[in-house]
Structure formats: C-alpha cells, structure tokens
Amino acid sequence: MSDNAVVTEARRRRTFAVISHPDAGKSTITEALALHAQVIGEAGAVHGKGGRKGVVSDWMAMEQQRGISITSAVLQFAYRDCVVNLLDTPGHADFSEDTYRVLTAVDCAVMLLDAAKGLEPQTLKLFEVCRHRRIPVITFINKWDRPGMAALELLDEIETRIGVRPTPLTWPVGIAGDFHGVIDLRADHMVHFERTPGGSRAAIEEVVAAPEAAARYGDDYGTAVEEIELLAASDQAHDQKLFLEAVTTPVLFGAAVANFGVRQLLDVLIELGPPPSPTPDVSGEPRPIEAPFSGFVFKMQANMNPAHRDQVAFLRVCSGRFERGMVVTHGPSGRPFTTKYAQAMFGSSRDTIDEAYPGDVIGLVNATNLSIGDALYVDRKVTFPPLPSYAPEHFAAIRTTDTSKAKRFRKGIAQLDAEGVVQVLYSDLRGEQAPVLAAVGPMQFEVAAHRLQQEFSVPVTVDSLPFSMARRTDANGALALRGAPGVETFTRARDGAVLAAFPNRWRLQTVANDHPDVPLEPLLADTDQAATPAG
C-alpha cells in the first residue's frame, strides 16, 4: 500500500477516551454512542435494567455486579466515513493508573460532567492530565434531564477552576430537570428530543426552526437565546486551532441515559476531533504516519473470555499499515514477533482483523511475551517514551489459604502484575509465598482477590500494611535500612527495582536525615509530576 493510502486511512480514524468522575454516566454514554452509530440495537442501563444485558463496555463480572468500570475497554466501529476507536476508562480514582495509560493511546478525550455536581476531584485531576499531555478535550454536560446547576454557572466553573475556556456548540432549552432540547449553534436551529420507551433506543429528534421554537417554548427558549448572545459577546465561539492546542473545550449538553444530545456529540467527534498525528519517539522525534508499521502496548488483559483463558495485548498503531500475520520486531528484546492472532475489539466481543492503520487499537492474543509500554515495529527501530507509572499509596500482603494451589497462586499474581492491576513486591522477610501488593487505591486489592478467586480458583486473604508511600533506593540502601523502625524494603517483580516503604512523610524525612547517603528517589518521572503528585 502506498504512503498516501496509509495517510488517507489514518485521516479517517478518530481515537478518543471517555473520562469522568465516578457515576457521571461514562459507561452509559459509551454505550449510547455505539447505539447512535447503529452498531448495537438496544441500550441497557448500567445495571442491565428491564431484563436487558448490561453495558457492552463493562465486561468483567465484578463491573457488572457493582455497576462501575474497573478496567478500560475498547469499542471499535464505523460511523459516517470514519473508523471510531472509543476507549471507555475507569472513573474511580482507585483505578486512575489504568486511565492514565489509556490517555497515552488517544488523540482526543470526551470529559463527562454531571450537571448537578460540576467539576469533581477526579474530573479536575483528569483535566490536568489531558492538559499536561496536550490532549484536546470535548466536554459533555450530562444528566440535563435531572435537576442541576445553571448552564452559565457550569461554564464559569470550567474556566475559573481549570483555566480552559468553554466554547458551547449546543445550548439547552430549559433548565436542568426541565429539558426540551438544545439549540445547535453551528446549524442555528433547535433540536427537540423525545425519549423512547425505557430509553433503550436512540431518542426521537425533531428539528424546530427558531420562530416555531420561540412560540412553542416561550420564556425557556427566550432565555436560551439571551444566554447564547451573552456568550457570543464574551468571545466564547469555537476556534478549531485553540481546541487542538487544548486551550479551549467545546461544550455540549445532553442526557446519556435518555440518549439526548448523543448524536450531536458523535458528529462533533467526527467533524472536529483530530485524526492521528506523528507519534514522538523517546528522543522526541516524531515517527511519520506513513513510516513502516509501528505501535506500542498500552494495556494487557487476561481472561476477558473465561472460555478461552487467553491474554490480550492492546496495541495502538502509530504508523504504517498493520497486516495480520506480519512478522514484526519486539523492541525490548529485538526478537521477531508473529501477529497471527490479531483482533478488533468491541467490549468483550472480538473479531479477527486483517489490517489496521494509525489510530486503530487492536488486540494481539496470547501475547505472553509482551509487556505494557513495549514497542513493536517493522524496519527502522523505534522506542516510544515509557508509559506513566504512578507511586503507590496503599500496600497489602496477600497469601493463599489453600497451600495446594501455591503454583496457581504464583501464576495469578504474575498475571496481575503483567497487566498493571497492581505492583507486586517481594521481600526476604516475607518470602515468595506472601508477596506484597502496592496500588494507587485499595479497591485494586479487591479486584486482585476477586480475579484470583474467579479466574484461578485460588482463595486468598489480603492484609493491609501500614505504609502510604514508597521511594526507590538500591541494594546498599536496603541493607542500611534493614531494621529501621516502620520501614520495609522490597524488590519490585516487574523491573527488579528496590523500593523502601514508609508509613508517612514524617518517617520518610526522619530516615532521610538519619541516612543521608541512602538514595530515596520519588517513583515518578519528572514529566509525570505535573499530572499526579508523587507519593
């Protein structure tokens, strides 16, 4: 295939993540977008109400039981003349590391805000990560069919608290909780929404011209027009250049559970969302879209389908044309890797894929030799920047209660470590039979225990440890700190790094003063400090 053909295909790609605070409706809007693209026929609410199957992106049993997203998922589908790679991410802060890794694999993000709650802590953190990585953000103010804040108040909060100028593309007619529809500022007409029974299908839309909308909705429409005029006077019109530079954020209003405003969001993603651009390598040099094939692994996931017991590496294609069966080079080892089992992902469903282009996310099955951050390439070697790794704030010792399953326990722990579900640490003090799990949030320990039980039939106990931060040291430092009160040293299974764990900052400072020659380095790279503070 010619270079021009690869570039043409890449321009058709839109790869974006949906991110938000928990309970903002993220998985629901992911499913609603797929519904409007006509790749599923009926939407189920997050808990599968009305006898319908739950959201297609929440495939893990624990997700379906709790109605939350625990791991990221990929939905790939066609819409208009584009190929959409939609990545649903966990909203809960305990799983933020998975979200941050996903953000390295997208070109754009949709940020969901709850109309009643506005900017919440996790939302603020994710906005900061997007800005740090210069990821353009489209904001969708959700749940406008319920009581909430005033529209202008929400825009003011976005601008004052995160410093990004909101530029509305749709504007609600009616206050939150009394939602008639939206004025489409780009088309200069109103769209009235009517919910289908149970909200299981796309909302019925009626285009209403301005004179008729004024007559039908009276003061509500008049107020909306006045607010739009006020915004125009404040220079809050959309500017594509500023949006792509992550200076502004286009804003749309809707209600995902009723499928209101979802088509408008999908159209904006296609029309304004950026296609893939050249990906910088570790030296900062961009690898051209038309260069020979390259990509990087941003996620590992095992046992998505319990019947198969396989391991899938999620790979973002960065350049060139991918062909199933092609032999590529595994960057870290320099060894050949055959891509015989390549699949397009749609939640837990998978179909064999024969080709893919820059921007696509594909699943490489039974990729046991791959790890998060690994590059695969053809021809000229490429090494992409390391994916962010975040300092753990919670630690727990884990052991199996059935010693006859010790081998299976070790296999399961190794699997969870490879996927980045937790960081696995070992120490001479505890031995291999009692590894220590380190995580950003304690719910990650629940996931680890649940998966060991469900996927490996290994019962475990998890005991919290009194540590809240870790620092990198070395073998000599570990010897010097042996026996220090309140301090424990470990070797990280993933990379052999030697870590020292502390109960709090005061103990860390005391130890640092008592042992000035012992290296105690933060676990975060400087480039990631702006996104998330070190532990």
Q: Which residues are annotated as a binding site?
A: 88-92
The backbone torsions φ and ψ at residue 458, rounded to the nearest 5 degrees and listed phi first, read: -115, 110
Task: Report the half-sphere exposure of 177 (CA within 13 A, side-chain side).
Answer: 5
Rounded CA gap, 21 and 117, in Å? 10
The one-letter amino acid at 248? T
CB 179 within 8 A of CB 152: no
Quick one: how many helices (H) and strands (E) in the chain? 14, 30
Distances from the Cα of 75 to the Cαs of 47, 129, 468, in angstroms?
19, 23, 36
Tokens of 161: 């608290």
Find the angle CA(108)-CA(110)-CA(111) to the nearest 5 degrees: 130
- 51 CB neighbour count, 10 Å cutoff: 6
What the block records as the tokens of 129 is: 């990560």
Burial class of residue 189 (count of CB atoms within 10 Å of its CB; 0-12, 13-18, 19+): middle
What's 80-111 look like in SS3? CCEEEEEEECCCCHHHHHHHHHHHHHCCEEEE
Instruction: Name the token pair of 401.
Output: 């209660």
Whether 214 and 221 have beta carbons less than 8 Å apart is answered as yes
Q: In 3D, which of 107, 167, 166, 110 has the Cα closest to residue 142?
A: 110
- Known binding-site residues for GTP equal 88-92
**What angle (nearest 5°) sits at the alpha carbon of residue 356, between those of residues 351 and 362?**
55
- The angle formed by the CA atoms of residues 373, 377 and 380, to the nearest 5 degrees, is 120
